[in-house]
Structure formats: structure tokens, C-alpha cells
Amino acid sequence: MEAIRPVPRTLLRDRAYETIRDAIVAGEIEPGAVVRDAELAERLGLSRAPVRDAFSRLVDEGLLESKPQSYTRVTPLVASDVRDAAAVVGAMHELVTRVAVPRLGAAGLTVMRAANERFAAAVSAGDVDVALRADDELHDVLVRVSGNRAAAATIARYTPLIRRLERCRFGEGGSCRSAGLHERLIEACAAGDVDEAVRVTAEIWRGLEELAD
């Protein structure tokens, strides 16, 4: 019984946050829907405290809005908010790309190529979950190699706002990312061409800013 210890409170808070965030991004909890801490706590098998903590974080990140003593609800998709988020996240990706390319080894390139293959196949199959997960895996290689924690935290904070729109567009039959652009990025990284890798990264995120229009 010595191996059984209380689950740290922070883990419960993170579990609530990630589950609710993912449901909002996926559209399972739709824009405008009112969310209640007691109801979600019961569904998650948690107390209300970690759910309230998650709500506070999601309000801060723009996925929920709250009026004290009245309601907490999912924010609508607002084009200007997505454009702002894409601009910030794009700038962070450019920064980490510039730092990571000279440090990137063969193993990282292999991961990026495999992720892009999964991305292209998922887009063809219309599988938005696999496509966006593969996209994350590809770009996360550069984020990790850069070692910039501030950039990583900023990317993690604002990417969900962008993902909501990408999922919407994907559901309309489109693709918000290009396997071809990814391939150009990978080849620039393989060649050690920092400037070209940054240019392609900027093009990828500029496309997402334009998508919001």
C-alpha cells in the first residue's frame, strides 16, 4: 500500500484543463455553450475545485468568457482574435526555427518527415484529428530543439484558438496546412538553410492569418 499516494492536486487541475480545452477546440462543446463546473466535475470524476481552476485558465486564454454570478460560456470564433493568435504563434515559430536549424540532427529530420507523411495521408483521408496531431509533432521538433521555454509556453497558450478555426475549415472540405510547405521546411532544415527555413515558416503562419479573413 506504500506505493499508493494521493494524486497531486496540480495533476487533477491539468487533467481538467486539457480535457475541457480539447473538447472546446474539437467543437464538442460549441461556441456560445454555457459550461457549469458542477456538471463537468461530475462527468470528469473530479471535485469542482480543479474544474474551476481550469475555467479560470481557459478564460485567460480566450476559450471561455465569464460574467461573475451569471455564466461561463465558450467564446465565439472571432476572426481578429485568430489573426492575433496566429501572428504571435507564427513569430514564436520563426524564432525557434532560427535557433533550432543549426542544432537539428538526423533523428529530428526523420521525425519531421514521418510526421509530414502522416499529415498528408490524414488530409487525403479527411481525418482532422490525425492531421493536426501530425502537424503538431512536426513543428514541435523545432520547438524542442530550440530549448526556448518562453516560446514553447506562448505557442501552447495561443495555438488552441487557431486550432478551432482550422478544424472548422477542415470540416468544410479544406486543409489549413500544406504538406508541400512542410516539405520545403524540412528540406531547408536538412540543408542547414536557416533563412529559407524561417521564410517557409513565415509563409505557413501567414496563411493561417489570412485564413481568419
Task: Report helix, strand and coil shares of the chain as percent, to nearest 5.
Answer: 75, 5, 25
pLDDT score of 56:
94
Cα 43 to Cα 117: distance, rounded to the nearest angstrom: 36
pLDDT (tens digit per residue) in 164-198 = 888 877 655 555 458 899 999 999 999 999 999 99
User: Can you tell me whether residue 66 is helix, strand or coil?
Assistant: strand
Q: Cell numbers of 8, please? A: 497531486
Asked whether the predicted pLDDT for residue 205 surpasses 70, the reply is: yes
pLDDT category at 5 given cuts 50, 70, 90 is low
Give all strands (DSSP E) within the chain, no chain letters: 64-67, 71-74
Contact 24, 58 (CB under 8 A): yes
pLDDT category at 209 given cuts 50, 70, 90 is confident
Cα 193 to Cα 140: distance, rounded to the nearest angstrom: 19
Cα 186 to Cα 30: distance, rounded to the nearest angstrom: 35
Q: Which amino acid is at 87?
A: A
pLDDT (tens digit per residue) in 45-86 = 999 999 999 999 999 999 999 988 888 999 998 888 889 999
User: Can you tell me whether residue 34 is helix, strand or coil?
Assistant: strand
Distances (CA, A) of 9 to 41, 106, 131, 132: 14, 39, 33, 30
Mean pLDDT of the chain: 89
pLDDT (tens digit per residue) in 109-168 = 999 999 999 999 998 888 888 999 999 999 999 999 999 999 999 999 999 999 988 887
pLDDT score of 11:
83
pLDDT score of 213:
67
pLDDT score of 207:
83
**Percent of the chain whose predicted confidence (pLDDT) is above 70:** 91
pLDDT category at 3 given cuts 50, 70, 90 is low
DSSP 75: P
Contact 182, 138 (CB under 8 A): yes
Q: What is the mean pLDDT of residues 25-29?
A: 90
Residue 197: closest CA among 72, 104, 69: 104
Asked whether the predicted pLDDT for residue 1 surpasses 50, the reply is: no
Cα 178 to Cα 132: distance, rounded to the nearest angstrom: 12
pTM of the model: 0.84
Residue 177: closest CA among 197, 200, 161: 200
